[in-house]
Structure 1
Amino acid sequence: MTPPFQFYRSLAPWAVHADASRGRLHAETEDKSRSPYQRDRDRILHSRAFRRLQYKTQVFIFHEGDHYRTRLTHSLEVAQIARSLARRLRLDEELAEALALAHDLGHPPFGHAGEEALNASMRSHGGFDHNAQSLKHVTQLERRYAGFDGLNLTWETLEGLAKHNGPVRSPSGYIAEYDFRHSLDLGSWPSAEAQAAALADDIAYNNHDLEDGLRAGLFTLEEVAALPLPREALDEVKIQHPGVSPDRLAPEMVRRVIGRMINDVVAETSRRIEALDPADADGIRAAPRAVVAFSQAMDDANKAVRAFLFERMYRHWRVNRTMGKSKRVVQMLFQLLHGAPQMLPGHWREKAGAPGTPASARVVGDYIAGMTDRFALEEYERLTDPSVPG
């Protein structure tokens, strides 16, 4: 039983409450000075997988500039938005923050291009999915504790990681494997905290990619102003600050759009909760649809931004060139190491077994998924250039 934390009395009845936690897979004595979800957050922050996010691509590879988002800065920004949503909705802030910080731990190097390449390489061995890999990192791959593999996070944090995008009706791969030995009730909706973290990811992703795309010169502020939501924010800035310099317009626009989106989520979620009238967190899980959500108008506006980014940023020829090269690096790394796992270092070599086997494929996939962009490029050189020491 977890300690009774007094500050939890201010939470909504339908929030996740620490004193009702389903606990951890491996029993531990809980900390009297921190809630279970604070401990989860701290374990995630101290994990190796979290540190590696500093050199993992969001859209732009690390050498293209110091001011572009990485997976680490993106995760921190998602955590801030998730906490804002949780606070206003009277949810558990620490659980929402922990889920936001952990949601990208499973991403391989080079962003979505790296994931596509690794998934294609592993297609005959079950494929690759970064959500499942995030769960695998915190339940198996982290090697920090003497008594267990992984971080031994609470059930609520693991549930949120596995199904933050909604119920998993037909689980496969590692999510199904883990659920078999430690059920996460995959068929239901996750907690409101997990839903808030997932929506915070959407809010941060689109808005900050707009700012990074503007900085990179992939499109102009005038082109962005054709979108309804950014246009409203830009008009407001220009009225309140006439003559403002162009370099301040983009960040002002982004922060105002984020504020509008948060306000919209709080209003829509409040309407849905009032209609549902859940008695507790399980009432949120049993709901027929997501409870934490955008209004229809805001969802349409957000989709318009996403469509713009897809066409003008993710398909831009400069981004496509970089991503094409990145895919070839990942594909070659998998081909070489799967065919000759004896080239893997340390305990990875011991786990991989014989060349070309399913076991080898999974171990090589885990090894590559943990790489930073920088390490992947260096490993590629070590494996393909005879003049580079191994």
Structure 2
Amino acid sequence: MNATPAALNDPAHLAPYAARDDLSRGRSHPEDSPVYRSEFQRDRDRIIHSTAFRRLEYKTQVFINHEGDLFRTRLTHSLEVAQIARAIARVLRLNEDLTEAIALAHDLGHTPFGHAGQDTLNACMADYGGFEHNLQSLRVVESLEAHYAEFDGLNLTFETREGILKHCDPKVAATLGEVGRRFVEGQQPTLEAQLNNLADEIAYNNHDVDDGLRSGLITLEQLMEVTLFREAFEAVRLRYGALPEKRARHEVIRRMINRLVTDLVDSSLARIREAAPDHPDTVRTQGRPLICFSAQIREYNLELKRFLRQHLYRHYRVNRMTMKAARVLRELFAAYMAEPALLPPEHEDKARRLSTQSGDAGRARAVADYVAGMTDRFAIAEHGRLFDPNTLS
């Protein structure tokens, strides 16, 4: 006898405030329910098999892909977010499949070259509606992926798409229909979406510390200014004494992550008990997020973020990469805007079609879609093909 989706996704273990398949607001294009998976498992699987997900392997987190094999990429970052978020979801009795789907999809729209790429593309798009990677991730799953015969995009559930949209200006949200309504009405998303927002922070802050130390751009001495790092470092030294640098770094990072995760669980459980939501929709009407750090850990986390901004993200070597990345994307964008025939045929057709519909803004959006989808190494190679006279292919 075949198992049913309900049997495979038994809600008995879920808290009453967790998202559930049978309470989902569904998909934009109705489909038959999966036989051996839940709806949110189907979302997760479609994300993993998407072209945009594979491209994350060669998109910058902080360090460009070719700078070293061991630095984080957007792909490894997304996997680390999913691991942290799913572990917390299990303790809070949230829907792990939805949590994982949101985590794996949250960076699908990110540009090459990390935040430097986003800032550059946003500047290029300033007269045409701007560019924001969070909105672009939603655009990827709603329209840009082209795999299925019956629809564009991945046709994900409402709950997964809502979770991808981490933040949004209310004016822009008003143009997005149901998925943007919470920003207009001041409501909260599912707890699974709230959880991913903070799991993302935990992952990138701590792993940027790891990569920063590995690269030599920041030092142990500098990091001793940061409370979370200093207390974890002192605990490691007290227990193990002098350790080789690689082992010491790992022991410190794992303790920092554990402290943040433990605090997030404890603080969120306390706030959930206080609010006592009895349904996922009750979560939406709360005046504040229910997934949260304690006040002290929130301040410690902000201290860590400020440190990274000052000492890592603004390091002169990172600034050099940022300058070169900005030049690459700016010149690619300008070239494609001036001459759409430089685009591959599929993208040229799209640029001309959108230009007919919306003028320069339409052409710019098509160009932005193409540039945002590039990996670091493809953007560098494409720039060489267009601007290096020694490269004729």
Q: Structure 1-normalised TM-score?
A: 0.95
Structure 1 unmatched ranges of 5 or more: none
Partner of 1:331: 330
Map 1:1-390 onto structure 2 (within 5 A). Answer: 3-5=5-7, 7-162=10-165, 164-165=166-167, 168=168, 170-172=170-172, 176-179=174-177, 185-186=182-183, 187=185, 188-353=187-352, 357-390=360-393
Give the distance between the partners of 1:133 and 1:143, measured in 2 at CA: 15
2:251 maps to amino acid:
E
Q: Do 2:212 and 2:312's aligned partners in 1 also have CA atoms closer than 8 Å?
A: yes
Structure 2 unmatched ranges of 5 or more: none
1:288 maps to amino acid:
G
Q: Do 1:44 and 1:101's aligned partners in 2 also have CA atoms closer than 8 Å?
A: yes
SS of match in other structure, 2:213: helix
Give the distance between the partners of 1:161 and 1:183, measured in 2 at CA: 11
Q: Deviations over 1:184-220 (max 9, x none)?
A: 5443211000011111000001000001000111121
Q: Structure 2-normalised TM-score?
A: 0.94
Give the distance between the partners of 1:171 and 1:102, measured in 2 at CA: 24
Give the distance between the partners of 1:87 and 1:235, measured in 2 at CA: 30
Give the distance between the partners of 1:64 and 1:34, measured in 2 at CA: 40
Q: Do 2:118 and 2:131's aligned partners in 1 also have CA atoms closer than 8 Å?
A: yes
SS of match in other structure, 1:218: coil
1:79 maps to amino acid:
A
Q: Do 2:112 and 2:373's aligned partners in 1 also have CA atoms closer than 8 Å?
A: yes
Corresponding pairs, count: 383
1:226 maps to amino acid:
E
Q: Do 2:5 and 2:37's aligned partners in 1 also have CA atoms closer than 8 Å?
A: no
Give the distance between the partners of 2:175 and 2:139, measured in 1 at CA: 10
SS of match in other structure, 2:156: coil
Q: Deviations over 1:267-301 (max 9, x none)?
A: 11111111111111111111100110111100000
Give the distance between the partners of 2:224 and 2:100, measured in 1 at CA: 32
SS of match in other structure, 1:4: helix
1:225 maps to amino acid:
M
1:388 Cα offset (Å): 1.5
1:345 maps to amino acid:
P
1:225 Cα offset (Å): 2.1
Give the distance between the partners of 2:199 and 2:377, measured in 1 at CA: 28
Q: Do 1:213 and 1:219's aligned partners in 2 also have CA atoms closer than 8 Å?
A: yes
1:386 Cα offset (Å): 3.0
SS of match in other structure, 2:232: helix
1:89 Cα offset (Å): 0.6
Give the distance between the partners of 2:315 and 2:180, measured in 1 at CA: 42
Give the distance between the partners of 1:291 and 1:233, measured in 2 at CA: 27
Q: Do 1:221 and 1:250's aligned partners in 2 also have CA atoms closer than 8 Å?
A: no
Q: Deviations over 1:34-63 (max 9, x none)?
A: 110111001000000000000000010011
Q: CA RMSD in A?
A: 1.6
SS of match in other structure, 1:15: coil
Q: Do 2:174 and 2:181's aligned partners in 1 also have CA atoms closer than 8 Å?
A: no
Give the distance between the partners of 1:11 and 1:213, measured in 2 at CA: 39
1:341 maps to amino acid:
P
Q: Deviations over 1:86-134 (max 9, x none)?
A: 0111000111111011011111100000000000001000010000000
Q: Do 1:159 and 1:184's aligned partners in 2 also have CA atoms closer than 8 Å?
A: no
